Structure 1
Amino acid sequence: MAATTNGHVNGEKSKTGIKVVIVGAGFGGLTAAIECHRQGHDVEIYESFPELKTLGDIISFGANAGRIFHRWSNGEISRRMRPLSIDLTDYGFRIHKYTGELITTQATPKMDPEAPVFNGHRGELHEVVFNYARDELGIPIHLGKKILKYFENEKEAGIELDDGTKVSADVVLGADGVRSKARELVLGYDDKPKSSGYAVWRAWFPNTDMIKDPRTKEFCENGDTFNGWIGQDVHFLFSTIKGGKDCCWVLTHRDEADIDESWSFPGHLPDVFKVLKDWDPICTAIVEKTPALVDWKLVYRDPLPTWVSAHARICLVGDAAHPFLPTSAQGATQAMEDGVTMAVCLRRAGKNNIPGALKAHQEIRYDRVRNVQKTGETTRDMWHKADWDKVKQNPESVQFPREDWIMKFDAEKHAEEVFDDVLAKVSGGSKL
């Protein structure tokens, strides 16, 4: 018998009778599903991808996400994620000027076992969470299902699939990313993405060639490493992981490319070398080992006026509601906080007040999300517009921010504490 919390297996609450359909099986959608399951809702996921693939490169989860992971299966999910994640206990984050001069080494904070930090391969960590949701919790995840449109009325919401099938529920959560189809229904118009003015080249590859080169083998022979180089409107981050076995780099740079139709393309090494001209030769030595890379245009969207549909039966969560810049290191984590908060709000409001739950969720989350989003811009600008004379006097000024108001936040605890007051506010006609 699994361990119990408050009399319920694995902390799961009694059944609420609320049916939730989630569109999208990324970290936001999976977390929303797992948390809805914990809170006693009947939940299922629809995902357009036909099969699970371990795609992508590095992804970061702050302590505020680790706190969520740790509650799943009494810490078992965290234990599975640990060996897949970078361990910088003895190494820290070494920050260099673009010319190669070491500016500062930022020590790794002591790990809180109840709120661990994870940085690892997106696909590998996603597989752990996906399999937990589907295989251990038994949450139905329907793959290869293309959603044509969303619909709602005062009593229900739903989705229509490309084969004509209609699926109805008490509430639908659009966790379908920056190109969300749910957004158009929620807003009443097509909200086109804009270029942020930046793009990222990204790569993940084995250490085979790195360890053969005397210039780069040090990154693979001494455990996990994390190094950054900062230049004018450019920064380059390089990690080795799993004891130096895997290598990963990301390079953020100015880019005004048209992103109307797509935001991810194959990258080209000659373009990267042009940006790294006159940089520390080590950067080029790393990049030239790269077998393939992705050119990822950073999409920007104006803050949405609402995440909730007219009848308050459909809600946007994660990137569908609020895309983040990578320099926030909080995009996936904030999507997870969305899922936790929504699940709590639905249970507390009850089946007869779904609109109240969705409005309360937005009220609880909106300002926090906007404030965390801004950190992506401030961190990027801190690096890209560095005044090197001032940095020389205060090297710590370019260390990556790890602010307590972000990292020590407990989304579940906060939602439980504020829900009654927030529900009273939104039910009283206060403007969201």
Structure 2
Amino acid sequence: MRNDMPPRIAVVGGGLAGLTLALALHRAGLACQVYEQAPQLGEVGAGIQLAPSATRLLHRLGLEPPLRSLAVEPVGMEFRRWADSSVISRGLLGAHCEQRYGAPYYALHRADLHRVLVEALPAGTIRLDARCVDFREGPEGVVLRFADGTEAAADVAVGADGIHSVLRQSLVADRPRAFGQSVYRGLVDGRRVPELVAEPRVLLWLGPGRHFVCYPVSGGRLVNFVATVPTSGSTDESWSRRGRVEDVIAAYERWCADVTSVIGAADKVSLWALHDRAPVERWSTGRITLLGDSAHPMLPFLGQGANQAVEDAVALAGCLRDAGSRTLPAALERYESMRRPRTTEVQERSRGNSTAFHLPDGEAQRERDARMGALAPDGPDWLYGYDVEGALAGRQST
């Protein structure tokens, strides 16, 4: 690459992480090509939660109008007991959250966010049916090879292709590890559970060996729920694997009516076996780096997978934009050194919640409930108040 030419940037993966990076690069004046293995666009999955650390960045990328129209802004978050639905702790969201952190807390459907990102990108940014199967890295760049035999050259390649990232294989000698829990995901017509839509909240019921989460999405037309269960049998990681509603009902049969009524209103569910990887010491080389689940796949017990991917994307775009006379390898090194401490902490706290959320009734459970009940009714400042662009500018620690 000549010094006076913008870098050729290849993004492998057209999910939320890759598309957010593409938009952040575009807004920074840098073009990229996104290579997506699917033959057509369409994000799978169900609901996601976006905290202020991510929504402030998406707003700055120009997405505030469509997100305001599509997302639900929950007024609060509540943790409850599994057997009687008594409240363990409450946290304030809604207007209080936006006033405190300068950005809202959203609950929305993944497909809605995916569509908003696609529509914001210049035509031709995404190449479909392009499954990356191999690559060659040299001192001046990377050549990607695809399943159809074609190749593409770039000065920088970014792996945004999830927990099984092809690019990650050259950086880290590890494999996804099964966690021993699976999650059922479902969407319920909001008219069947109107009490969950009238005053929208993120609700979490904690119980022995499992927990249940629900919140409205798609402007309140749907209610998303996630139900964890101990894994037995298949360890299929697919988000789209069909589950059986009757199995979820059986797994939660002794739980309170608030939970069982949501499950009973579902027509279908998907089943996803949880996997993650341990935090690593390195996810970049001279011309390759990773972001989102490719770099730090997270268990869903802190609701931070999408949020950390958005933060990664804006941080990487900013490092590449600011490279100037720096070499591209230095820009990737800056990005990694900035992001890795924070994502490692989030990974570890997510894994820790898997124990705290699933305690059997008893002394440890009562101590947990007392600790949670004593917390201030605000979101965690270290998580919600973080501004990755402030960190880039040196105004905030990482």
**Does the pair score TM above 0.5?**
yes
> Which of 133, 153, 176 matches 2:161?
176
**How many Å apart are 1:243 and its aligned residue?**
5.8
Q: 8 Å contact 2:319–2:335 — kept in the other structure?
A: yes
The residue number in structure 2 matching 1:94 is: 78
Shift of the 21–300 alpha-carbon distance from structure 1 to 2, 3 Å rule, reads same
5+ unaligned residues in a row in structure 2: which ranges? none
Q: Hey, which bits of structure 1, 4+ residues long, moved more than 4 A?
A: 260-264, 391-395, 397-401
Aligned amino acid, residue 207 of structure 2:
G
**How many Å apart are 1:416 and its aligned residue?**
3.0
5+ unaligned residues in a row in structure 1: which ranges? 1-14, 211-215, 423-432
Aligned pairs for 1:248-397 within 5 A: 248-255=224-231, 257=233, 259=235, 265-309=241-285, 312-350=286-324, 353-385=327-359, 387-390=364-367, 393=370, 396=373
Aligned equivalents of 1:84, 1:16: Cα separation in 2:
39
Residue 369 of structure 1 aligns to a residue whose secondary structure is helix
**How many Å apart are 1:184 and its aligned residue?**
1.2
Structure 1 range deviating more: 381-390 or 293-302: 381-390
The residue number in structure 2 matching 1:162 is: 147
Residue 34 of structure 2 aligns to a residue whose secondary structure is strand
The superposition leaves residues 44-71 of structure 1 with CA deviations (integer Å, 9 ceiling, x where unpaired) of 1111112222532111111111111111
Q: 8 Å contact 2:50–2:306 — kept in the other structure?
A: yes
Aligned equivalents of 1:81, 1:289: Cα separation in 2:
27
Is 1:207 matched with 2:183?
Answer: no
Aligned amino acid, residue 153 of structure 1:
G
Q: 8 Å contact 1:66–1:114 — kept in the other structure?
A: no
**How many Å apart are 1:397 and its aligned residue?**
5.1
Shift of the 183–306 alpha-carbon distance from structure 1 to 2, 3 Å rule, reads same
| Structure of larger gyration radius | 1
Structure 1 range deviating more: 406-415 or 350-359: 350-359
Residue 83 of structure 1 aligns to a residue whose secondary structure is helix
**How many Å apart are 1:262 and its aligned residue?**
5.2
Shift of the 99–416 alpha-carbon distance from structure 1 to 2, 3 Å rule, reads same
Aligned equivalents of 2:189, 2:40: Cα separation in 1:
24
The residue number in structure 1 matching 2:98 is: 111
Aligned equivalents of 1:243, 1:148: Cα separation in 2:
39
Aligned equivalents of 2:354, 2:301: Cα separation in 1:
6
The residue number in structure 1 matching 2:57 is: 68
Aligned equivalents of 2:204, 2:331: Cα separation in 1:
43
RMSD: 2.8
**How many Å apart are 1:380 and its aligned residue?**
3.2
Q: Relative contact order: is structure 1 or structure 2 higher (C-alpha 8 Å, sep ≥ 6)?
A: 2
The residue number in structure 2 matching 1:17 is: 6
TM-score by length of 1: 0.82
**How many Å apart are 1:351 and its aligned residue?**
6.9
Aligned pairs for 1:14-53 within 5 A: 17-53=6-42
Q: 8 Å contact 2:184–2:228 — kept in the other structure?
A: yes
The count of residues paired between Structure 1 and Structure 2 equals 388
Structure 1 range deviating more: 21-30 or 102-111: 102-111
Q: 8 Å contact 2:318–2:392 — kept in the other structure?
A: yes
Aligned equivalents of 1:184, 1:232: Cα separation in 2:
37
**How many Å apart are 1:258 and its aligned residue?**
5.2
Structure 1 range deviating more: 360-369 or 401-410: 401-410
Identity among equivalent pairs (%): 28
Q: 8 Å contact 1:65–1:336 — kept in the other structure?
A: yes
TM-score by length of 2: 0.88
Q: 8 Å contact 1:47–1:141 — kept in the other structure?
A: yes
Q: 8 Å contact 1:207–1:246 — kept in the other structure?
A: yes
The superposition leaves residues 328-359 of structure 1 with CA deviations (integer Å, 9 ceiling, x where unpaired) of 21111111111112122223334761111112
> Which of 127, 144, 150 matches 1:142?
127
